[in-house]
Amino acid sequence: MVCTDEQQCVKEFSYINGTSESHVFPTLNNCRLLCGKFGPLWPHPTGRVHLGKKTTAINPTTIKFEQYTNNQTAEAIKFLEEVENYFLLNLRRDYRIQMLYSDSTPMSLIVKMHASSYSKTNIEWSTDESYKLKVSIENITNVVAVIEAATVFGVRHGCETLLQLFTVVNEANFTSSLQMLSDAVITDQPAYAHRGLLIDTARNYIPINCLKRQLDAMAASKMNVLHWHVTDTQSFPIQLNRVPEMVSYGAYDSNQIYTSSDVRKLIRYAKYRGIRVILELDAPAHAGNGWQWGPEKGLGNLAVCINQKPWRKFCIEPPCGQLNPVNPNLYAVLQDIYYDLAFINKDEQILHMGGDEVFFGCWNATDEIVSYLVDHGMGRNETDFLMLWNEFQNNALRLWDNALYLVNTNRSSTTTSGKSKRTSPVILWSSHLTDPSVIVQFLSSDRYVIQTWVPSTNNMPQQLQKLGYKLIISTKDAWYLDHGFWGVTTYYNWKKVYENQLPKGNGILGGEVCVWTEYIDAHSLDGRTWPRAAAAAERLWSNPSTKALEAESRFFRHRERLISRGTQPEAIAPQWCQQNEGQCH
């Protein structure tokens, strides 16, 4: 392979004995490590990047880690130990290390890790994820990589970057050696605090091991939020101690349930990969199966229109179901559900409350809801239904605040003393209730973060920005990765995903790519999600000003990296194009 003047790797047909310092390389990955400003890095750093042009053989069995131990908490120590384990595991995965040899004596690698503060081991929107990585030769026996960061999350990202600075070189005696850049300086921090992937596990059940694969791919791409859309009208697969009826009535099968232990372990698995898990309990729409047990227990209809036909009269997509906002018993059940969710995900203060696609036709066809509206002097027009919806939302927010207070103060009672409670924002999907013309009337910008899912031509995000709301962007015609396989939707290739721009200005927390699973399950999730989600990851980390074509070679390399981590991403080009960069445009 040859690194051209255009900083692209192309196939060289004449045999040349190249060295690690030449412009000719024995393999494509050798070339990508030493060719171009950003080499093989994904996502590319946002600060200073100096990558040398020399590699040094490293003995993978002698890699050592050193931690600066100023005021480390036990949890911080555990976090960094997990980062070390993660580094060594993926070094073996990425470079297929069995036993590698070299004609010369390989050097040892010492990784020195230091965080300015070890107090925060739970990621938040305010977390500083910046880091600085410096790699240099210390003496004739050691290469030293120093990672300095503000928090343990920055340290983790620095280790992720360091993993990308290795290659395997085939020696003349048919052996191989693990080599790495011996001269590099990188300063880096993300452009956006919220870099997410939504996975829907309600339409089709996604096993825990499959979710772990997605987390591994997210970590490799420096994404930091798994938005877990865990319930919907189709199923309620999460087991809750206080309300066991939900999973009894709502799970597809007894083997397709997320136990509390499953969820906690997955959250911890995510944490050590720099990822927070935000659970979504969609309400008041998208709530059907799992909620049918109210009449049997003497609680009345907790939800209405469940599985009702013809579905087009009662919901956006089948099966139908919406919560019953006029049944007082609903709120007692909802309080228990929120408590269990807060307890399962103790370290996370943010809940996604759903709030999309409320279908007024369902409520308008329900006698008890219509009677409630009449009794309260309301009619049956859109304004009245918005008022009813807002009444539900106010109650739901109060119940979530109660749940957080009880969990944070180690109380088990579902009643509170009225003492002041620390409140956190909640997230809602954009909807009729969040329309810029009415949102100020219903939803406080201090309490609600809005996740917009409108097309790129819609200016709703900019209007909400002007009103002071914080936003998460999920551009429907670029970042809905399930599109193109059903209805009149369009498939968005990685270049479209990469070039999707977020609104400029204040209030943009970041964005999410979304994988809705009506036509996706565990057997197809990897390919529908990856590597396209990684294209969004660079947008959210680096916010590049360049076009996707300039990132193509690095994207090819990152897809290989995802494969080595256990993911099965879809192909994005013929292999010839990967070996002849820039010639398939």
Lookup result for tokens 């009643």? 415
* CA 99 vs CA 61, 92, 177, 358: distances in Å: 9, 10, 9, 59
The number of beta carbons lying within 10 Å of the beta carbon of residue 520 is 23
CA atoms of 324 and 266, how far apart (whole Å): 32
Query: Is residue 233 classed as helix, strand or coil in its secondary structure?
Result: coil
Across the chain, which distance is largest between two alpha carbons, in Å? 88
Rounded CA-CA distance 524/377 in Å is 51
H/E element, 558: helix 552-564
Structure tokens of 357?
């696609």
Q: How far apart are CA 163 and CA 378, in angstroms?
A: 62
Q: For residues 539 and 189, what is the distance between their CA atoms, to the nearest angstrom? A: 13
Catalytic residue selected from 232, 245, 340, 401: 232
Tell me if residue 232 is catalytic.
yes
Of the candidates 400, 378, 387, which has an alpha carbon nearest to the alpha carbon of residue 358? Answer: 387
Pair 561, 513: CB distance under 8 Å: no
**227 is annotated as an active-site residue:** no
From 171, 262, 357, 570, active-site residue: 357
Marked catalytic residue, from 157, 227, 286, 432 = 286
Residue 128: active-site member = no
- How do strand 142-149 and strand 166-170 relate by DSSP bridges? unpaired
**CA distances from residue 133 to 111, 149, 187, 188, 291 in whole angstroms, order as listed:** 10, 9, 6, 8, 51
Under 8 Å CB-to-CB from 21, ≥6 apart: which residues?
A: 53, 54
Tokens standing for residue 327: 């049944």
CA distance 498 to 344: 34
Q: Tell me the catalytic residues.
A: 232, 286, 357
